[in-house]
Amino acid sequence: MIPVFFYLFWISMMAKSDTVRDVFWEERQLTFGSQNHELDHNENFSFDDEWIVYDTRPDPDGIAQNAKIEKVHAKTGETHVIYEAPTPSEFGPGIGAVSYHPSESKVIFIHGLPYSDASRPYAGHRRTGVIIDESRPDKVSFMDSRDIYPPFTSGALRGGTHRHQWSTDGEWIGFTYNDALMVDLERKTGRKHDLRTVGVAKEKGPDVSIQPDEEAENIQGEWFSALVVKVVPDPVPGSDEISRAYGDWWVGNHGYLKAPGKHQRARAYMGDLLTSEGKAITEVFVVDIPDELHQEGDSGPLEGTASTMPMPPKGAVSRRLTYTENRRFPGVATTPRHWLSSASDGSFISYLAKDDNGTVQVFLISPLGGEPIQATFHSFPVQSMVRWHPQNPEFTYVCDNSIFMVSLAGEDEIKGPVRLTARSDEQPFAHCFSRKGDKIAFNRYVEKEGKRFIQVFLAESP
């Protein structure tokens, strides 16, 4: 683990210079088909770095119409279909946003509910997480159980999970969530109840048993799931109450160092709140994840009620990390859309925000709190989320239509920012490190036969 003061020294040195060096990685196009090949902002490399997984949605918002999960070989460019949804239609079921398991040949992705039609289309509250073991591709395993009928079930949810992310050990999955009962309650009352929040699932949790239903809305899953962040429709101005939690990410490969020798599993997320003047703002939060999810917390039952959301388990403690309302440009940047991310040792959480010139830059904050640190000083705005190297204290991001890296080599040698890919007319996006950190996969639009398709590219360290 690199001590925090090394990082502080690194950042202070960066602040003195905006000199950019070019150290181009070898770049090549991997996919060429007349369809989209969209990477998720997640872990797209297989555990052995042989394959890169993607979905084929017709447009960025077209998961409902997508029916295939595919993979491309990182060396040969050979492609294979991993899973194809049965009886797809314009209403669903819809699949996408796929990610590889860190140590096994398994993938997880969004899957709309199996029965979808015009009256029950794919939606944020009508989807789940499906796991496919490539050795048994015909077996569909549902991550989260779903029970939408009272009295509900602890360990099950009542809505839709999204953007599933495995922990480094593969024993946990983090996700965002929208509750079907709250969607219905909002429709009936006209008041805000449909609030996005963050949850986690544990593979080795207590068993969850779900009763089937005639409408096929209930699902028997294999993991124990719980929401870990409480959200409210009307946050008190000036408080840390939030109306939406999203942009979440696991902190570190093994959590963060909470005390000497003690690592704490945690999930960082963005939270929407109100300043004391009633202005909407987004800040950075972190929630500690307890080892056990089945114990009820102080806010209410894990399974929720007919009029309230499922509540966090005992030990799921959230803390606000950033307080930016007095900055010239307060809050986390909402454009570009991005997710938080974390250094492999858990020492920093990265996010995007505007500097005093109004330019979007990379900022870092410790999961223990303190003052944020500006980590980039470009004249052009940063265009993507930050992706950290899986082992080393270095991170990448997109700026000026190129992928850049900033790194710390040793105790007093600073390297960065370095441009890794040449500037292109089409912006790279959704970039992702390989498991070893010597390759970066990313998307870029390419014109073919008069149409533009999202293709997968690979940049390899020289």
- Give per-residue pLDDT as tens, 135-149: 998 899 999 999 999
**Cβ contact 26:56 at 8 Å:** no
Residues 6+ apart with CB under 8 A from 398: 382, 383, 384, 404, 427, 428, 429, 431
Question: Which of 22 and 67 is assigned the larger pLDDT?
Answer: 67
Give the pLDDT band (50/70/90) at residue 131: very high
Whole-number Å distance between alpha carbons of 47 and 104: 6
Backbone angles phi, psi at 288, to 5 degrees: -75, 135
pLDDT tens digit sequence for 360-380? 999 999 999 999 999 999 999
Whole-number Å distance between alpha carbons of 330 and 323: 9
Whole-number Å distance between alpha carbons of 113 and 63: 13
pLDDT of 18 strictly over 80: no
pLDDT of 10 strictly over 60: no
* Average pLDDT estimate for 46-72: 96
Whole-number Å distance between alpha carbons of 88 and 56: 13
**Cβ contact 441:45 at 8 Å:** yes
**Cβ contact 142:220 at 8 Å:** yes
Whole-number Å distance between alpha carbons of 192 and 334: 21
Mean pLDDT of the chain: 93
Give the pLDDT band (50/70/90) at residue 17: very low
pLDDT tens digit sequence for 256-288? 999 898 999 999 999 999 999 999 999 999 999
Give the pLDDT band (50/70/90) at residue 412: very low
Give the pLDDT band (50/70/90) at residue 117: very high
Q: Residue 9's CB: how many other CB atoms inside 10 A?
A: 15
Give the pLDDT band (50/70/90) at residue 159: very high
Whole-number Å distance between alpha carbons of 378 and 359: 8
**Cβ contact 8:373 at 8 Å:** yes
**Cβ contact 301:322 at 8 Å:** no
pLDDT of 215 strictly over 90: no
| C-alpha neighbours within 13 Å on the C-beta side of residue 69 | 28
Q: How far is CA 44 from CA 53, 284, 389, 433, in A?
A: 5, 25, 14, 8
**Cβ contact 385:397 at 8 Å:** yes
Give the pLDDT band (50/70/90) at residue 183: very high
Among 132, 158, 131, 162, smallest CA distance to 147 is for 158
Q: How far is CA 348 from the centre of its chain?
A: 16
Paired residues of 236 in beta bridges: none
Residue 157 has a pLDDT of 98
pLDDT of 351 strictly over 50: yes
Among 398, 453, 454, 387, smallest CA distance to 424 is for 398
Give the pLDDT band (50/70/90) at residue 21: confident
pTM of the full structure: 0.94
pLDDT of 7 strictly over 50: no
| C-alpha neighbours within 13 Å on the C-beta side of residue 129 | 34
Q: Write out the residue limits of the CATH 2.130.10 domain(s) in the chain.
A: 33-358
**Cβ contact 234:223 at 8 Å:** no
Whole-number Å distance between alpha carbons of 349 and 252: 9
Residue 449 has a pLDDT of 87
Residue 55 has a pLDDT of 98
Query: What percent of the residues of the chain are helix, what percent strand, and what percent coil, each to the nearest 5?
Result: 5, 40, 55
Residue 336, preceding peptide bond in cis (omega within 30° of 0)? yes
pLDDT tens digit sequence for 225-247? 999 999 999 999 999 999 999 99
Q: What is the DSSP letter of 138?
A: T
pLDDT of 13 strictly over 50: no
Query: Do the strands 21-22 and 413-419 form a parallel or antiparallel pair, or are they unpaired?
Result: parallel
For the chain, the distance separating the N- and C-terminal CA atoms, rounded to the nearest angstrom, is 26
Domain 33-358: which CATH class?
mainly beta
